Amino acid sequence: MKIKISHHIALSFAPAFAYIDNRYMTTDASILGIETSCDETAAAVVRGGERVLSNVVSSQIAVHQPYGGVVPELASREHLRAIVPVVRQALHEAGETYESVHAIAVTQGPGLAGALLVGISYAKALAFALAKPVLTVNHLEGHIHAVLLEQRQTANFEMRFPVLALVVSGGHTHLFLAQERGSGWIYENIGRTRDDAAGEAYDKVAKLLGLGYPGGPIIDVLARHGDPQGVRFVASQIKHGNRGVPREKQTAHDFSFSGIKTAVLRYVELNGMRADIAERQKQLAGMARAKAEDVLRLCDRRTLDLVASFQRAVVSDLVRKTLEAAREREARTLFVTGGVAANSELRERFELESAQEGLPVYFPSRKLSTDNAAMIAAAAFPKYLAQHFAEPEFSAEASLILK
Ligand code: KG4
Ligand code: ZN
């Protein structure tokens, strides 16, 4: 979907580009990144593509918690409220000013159209007022650059290509095969989810079991207390079929996570767990800020086993299919990134199994796994060096493709 921002803004802001010339190009440039694609309002300043001078994330979790998922209208409203103070704080923490940064990078998509528009409109307004260039970034490339950014900080500049990147979050489960091209990377999408994203499955299962929102972090903790063999899911419940999916929409390494969610639902019904879940929800709703220990106390063995078995099934599927794709496409480096990459079991399994295959695997730190703007500023840096500045009339693209 393409949404047009008022032509008035686009046209009046065009002359700003006239001021951009080579005197402003520097390999030590500070880029202000802005990210508003989902439920985090984030701003960061990154210098030279790798030094994170500030990284401010304002989370909307408390706003969406009562609904068990992100409500798009509420997300836009919260971004509007937070964007100015968040950017101001990012500049302040970085010791920079609106005038001192060299360029402004903003997420163009994919994401919620209304949420993206808040960041884009603000980036455009700043660029116009300050006569700075704007760089647009694909959110998924941002997640990939979160890994690259931190590897560069440890002086690891020796990435071997092709790189296979699994981007696994609340909105995406994508496999990209990346190659170097000029100062940037190009991508081939070789796998994606047919239905729910892995993080979405975590969030839906957590909601179903009355564990709160978001589901990933709490299931990560609870799963350690359950038996991952406790509940047996049949392979057909977690496998995808090609039925109903047009050939041109299929990729070689597709995922599917809606079956496992339905299997959890069926288990809940068959085992009469509804009353316990309702009671847990009631108790948690009465707590101001429930901690993981509070939720753990409210879970019986059967629930913990179910949670651990769900996580085992999701993690095994992600690891197996990713390594299969890596073998088939002869990937020489593996990146695992996005919110779900914060998961302990996923990290352990990838580390173990990739090592067995002699494939180096890299993750972002937990802070940079979930949505942030440092990754957006970092991903914009090669574009800045190549002077790939945005056209003034660019707009939000809810389904932007990475290539
Ligand atoms: O990347 P992200 O912040 O936003 C999107 O681009 O979607 O990812 C958020 C998702 C949520 O679904 C959340 O439940 C999941 O990442 N998540 C986790 C963990 N931490 C966050 N999933 C599994 N284990 C975790 N530790
Ligand atoms: Zn994300």
pLDDT interval class at 4 (50, 70, 90): very low
Q: Is any ligand 1 atom within 6 A of the Cβ of residue 110?
A: no
pLDDT value for 238: 62
Q: What is the DSSP string of 213-274?
A: SSHHHHHHHHHTTS-TTSSPPPHHHH----TT--GGG--TT-B--HHHHHHHHHHHHHTT-H
For tokens 């002699």, what's the residue? 358
* Best mutation site among 141, 200, 340 for ligand 1 pocket (most ligand atoms within 8 Å of CB): 340
3-state class percentages of the chain: helix first, strand second, coil last, to nearest 5: 50, 15, 35
- Quick one: which H or E segment has residue 173? strand 173-181
Note the residue count of the chain. Answer: 403
Atom of ligand 1 nearest to the CA of 311: 23
User: Under a CB-based contact definition with an 8 Å cutoff, are residues 120 and 400 in contact?
Assistant: no
Q: Could you tell me if the CB of 212 is within 6 A of ligand 1?
A: no
| pLDDT category of residue 61 using cuts at 50, 70 and 90 | confident
Atom of ligand 1 nearest to the CA of 37: 6
pLDDT of 22 > 60? The answer is: no
Strand order in the sheet with 103-109: 51-59, 40-47, 30-35, 103-109, 134-138
**3-state SS string over 331-370?**
CCEEEEECHHHHCHHHHHHHHHHHHHCCCCEECCCHHHHC
Give the residue-averaged pLDDT of 360-369: 96
Of residues 158 and 42, the one with the higher pLDDT is: 42
Mean pLDDT, rounded, for 314-333: 97
- Distance of CA 337 from the midpoint of ligand 2 (Å): 9
102-128 mean pLDDT: 97
Which H or E run includes 296?
helix 292-297
Rounded distance, CA 325 to CA 328, Å? Answer: 5
SS3 302: helix
* Average pLDDT estimate for 165-182: 96
Residues, CB-to-ion distance under 5 Å, ligand 2: 169, 371
* pLDDT on residue 118: 98
Category of 257 on φ-ψ map: left (φ > 0), alpha (ψ -120 to 50) or beta: alpha
Local confidence band at 157 (pLDDT 50, 70, 90 cut-offs): confident
At 257-303, the pLDDT tens digits run 999 999 999 999 999 999 999 999 999 988 878 899 999 999 999 99
- Which residue among 35, 59, 169 is best mutated to probe the pocket of ligand 1, counting the most ligand atoms within 8 A of its Cβ? 169
When pLDDT is averaged across residues 122-136 and rounded to a whole number, the result is 97
Residue 344's CB is within 10 A of a number of other CB atoms, namely 14
Q: Is the CB of 107 under 6 A from ligand 1?
A: no
User: How much is the average pLDDT of 352-368?
Assistant: 97
Helices 344-356 and 215-223: crossing angle in degrees, nearest 10, is: 70
Can you tell me the distance from the alpha carbon of 79 to that of 188, in angstroms, rounded to the nearest whole number? 32
**Is 33 close to ligand 1, i.e. is its CB under 6 Å away?**
no
Find the mean pLDDT for residues 107-133: 97
Residues 194/255, Cβ–Cβ less than 8 Å:
yes
> By alpha-carbon position, which residue is closest to atom 16 of ligand 1?
339
Residue 392 Cβ inside 6 Å of ligand 1? The answer reads no
With a cut of 50, say whether residue 10 has pLDDT above it: no
Closest residue (by CA) to atom 10 of ligand 1? 170
The number of angstroms, rounded, from the C-alpha of 133 to the middle of its chain's C-alpha atoms is 25
263-274 per-position pLDDT tens digit:
999 999 999 999
Residue 126 vs residues 34, 78, 86, 101, 265: alpha-carbon distances, Å: 11, 19, 14, 11, 48
Q: Give the tens place of pLDDT for each residue, 210-250.
A: 999 899 999 999 999 999 999 998 766 666 555 566 666 67
What pLDDT is stored for residue 158 in this prediction? 80
Q: Which of 19-23, 296-300, 357-361 has the lowest mean pLDDT?
A: 19-23
Nearest ligand, CA 57:
1
